[in-house]
Amino acid sequence: MHDADIDARGLPHFGHIGETRPTIVDGDGAVVVDADGNEYLDFTSQLYCVNAGHSNEAILDHIGDQLGRVQYVSSADHSDVRTRFAERLLEVAPGQMESVFFSVTGSDANEAAIQLAREIQDGDTVLSRWRSYHGSTYATAGLTGDPAMRVPVERGAATTGAVKVLPPFDGCDAPFDADSPAGLAERAADHLEYVILNHGPDDVAALLTEVVAGSSGAFTAPPGYFDRVREICDRYDVLLVVDEVITGFGRCGDWFGADTEGLAPDLLTFAKGATGAYVPLAGVLASEAVTERVRAAEPAIGQTFAGTPIGCAAGLGALDVYEELIPRVRELAPHLRDELSRLERVDVVGNVHGRGFLWGIEFVDPPTGDPVFDPRVEEGDNPVTEVIREARDRGLMVGSGRPGFQVMVAPPLCATEAELSAGVETLESAVETVFG
Ligand SMILES: Cc1ncc(COP(=O)(O)O)c(C=O)c1O
């Protein structure tokens, strides 16, 4: 099937209608192949989810074995493989996690987390951050900071009880004017406390936040910020829900982003990398205290395809693979960072930031530091989209950030040192072609 057929018949996701994109027919490790036989280094992990790489034999074997036993068990009944996967997840989970509530996608994992929080808290308000992404369903798009995803969905139904706070990052579009990371941590945490206090702490059920921003730009929090967030949440009885849909399963060099921050969340949502994207599977991890309260509340929520046996089998295979890949990410992340830093030689390349195998590159106007093109307020051709196209024509897939003045780099965790270098070299030539 050619691109034209897809354009004519498909309704692609994430607004790429009418854009010519390759038809992927094959994949191996960090490489995918299109219908014309062109190979691409996949520095998107598709949608940040093929963490273990394409065509991983160990994961395929787990799926095959499970298919030979039983392919589906009601999510209301017990399944041996689901129990085993839940136990393994809890072994690698951060903090004092006690139970798992399975779902299917990242959006509905976040929906479930919000619903669980509202079931057991007095208040209904959920705080989330500007410059965030939490999903495309009504509630999760409403909690998303990115206006491109949120505004069209909110036209149909605005999420009730959703309040946004400012995220703690520097670089282009920074919401705080701080002169040191410690100052930024303090100002951003004070702001969060101010919002909670003035909203009325009793009405705030939870704070939903990514630990490292995902598609919003891979920005990390300054040291100390999440310690303060944990203290503030405890002080005002606000549940801390971390969205690890992208950062989970080794993406940022630890099992979860919360591990790197030494953070013990109350609820943690996961999806994407949980099975390496071999089967859709997502869920919510709950701390001991939350588990106890949820069990007492007995909320009637559930989904047919939550935690399918095939998904759980794929997840068990993926966790084995991550045991080996996560130390490699830690080892190779400095190399990827150094390679990407070379891009800063081009004057429109601003801040390059991220953690592990998740990086964002900002494109700014050198004299002002403002976005070189800001799709939130400008119409017309975005040169940053042109960089992504140029890279693809040269055999490298990279993603667009939210907002689209950023390019996102997120290779599968199995990418080799040589592949990382080759990919960045291709990106550099794409940037030079567009901006040179
Ligand atoms: C941080 C984050 N949360 C939630 C989601 C929603 O996941 P899904 O697309 O599986 O619904 C995404 C998707 O990209 C995400 O990046």
Q: Tokens 């799709």 belong to which residue?
A: 375
pLDDT of residue 423: 98
Confidence of residue 3 (pLDDT cuts 50, 70, 90): low
- Cβ neighbours of residue 294 under 8 Å, at least 6 residues apart? 99, 101, 116, 119, 120, 286
Confidence of residue 157 (pLDDT cuts 50, 70, 90): confident
Is residue 10 scored above 80 in pLDDT? no
Confidence of residue 1 (pLDDT cuts 50, 70, 90): very low
Q: Which amino acid is at 134?
A: H
Q: Tokens 């400095």 belong to which residue?
A: 334
CATH 3.90.1150.10 fits 3-55+325-435, yes or no: yes
pLDDT above 70 as % of the chain: 97
The average pLDDT across 263-290 equals 98
Cα→Cα distances 197→200, 235, 238, 265, 401, Å? 5, 11, 11, 21, 32
First to last CA, the chain: 36
pLDDT of residue 95: 85
Buried-state track 169-180, b at ≥16 Cβ within 10 A, e below 16 = bbbbbbbbebee
Cα(178) to centroid(ligand 1), Å: 30
Nearest to 412 by CA among 48, 57, 61: 48
Cα(166) to centroid(ligand 1), Å: 20
Q: Does residue 134 line the site of ligand 1, with CB under 6 A?
A: yes
Q: Could you give phi then psi for residue 185, rounded to 5 degrees?
A: -60, -45
Q: Which of 143, 246, 269, 408 to mutate to test the pocket of ligand 1 (most atoms within 8 A of CB)?
A: 246
- Measured by CA distance, the residue closest to atom 7 of ligand 1 is 106
| DSSP-derived secondary structure letter, 369 | -
Buried-state track 293-322, b at ≥16 Cβ within 10 A, e below 16 = bbeeeeeeeeeebbbbbbbbbbbbbbbbbb
pLDDT in tens, 92-123: 999 889 999 999 999 999 999 999 999 999 99
The average pLDDT across 229-234 equals 98
- Cβ neighbours of residue 412 under 8 Å, at least 6 residues apart? 29, 30, 42, 45, 50, 51, 52, 53, 54, 357
Tell me where in the chain the CATH 3.90.1150.10 domain(s) lie: 3-55+325-435
Q: Which atom of ligand 1 is nearest to the CA of 49?
A: 14
Classified by CATH at the fold level, domain 57-320 comes out as: Aspartate Aminotransferase; domain 2 (3.40.640)
Q: Does residue 106 line the site of ligand 1, with CB under 6 A?
A: yes
Classify strands 406-409 and 358-363 as parallel, antiparallel or unpaired.
Answer: antiparallel
pLDDT in tens, 125-143: 999 999 999 999 999 999 9
Q: Which atom of ligand 1 is nearest to the CA of 272?
A: 10
- H or E element, residue 163: strand 162-165
Cα(69) to centroid(ligand 1), Å: 31
Nearest to 340 by CA among 418, 421, 395, 413: 421
Q: What is the DSSP string of 43-69?
A: TTHHHHT-TT-BS-HHHHHHHHHHHHH
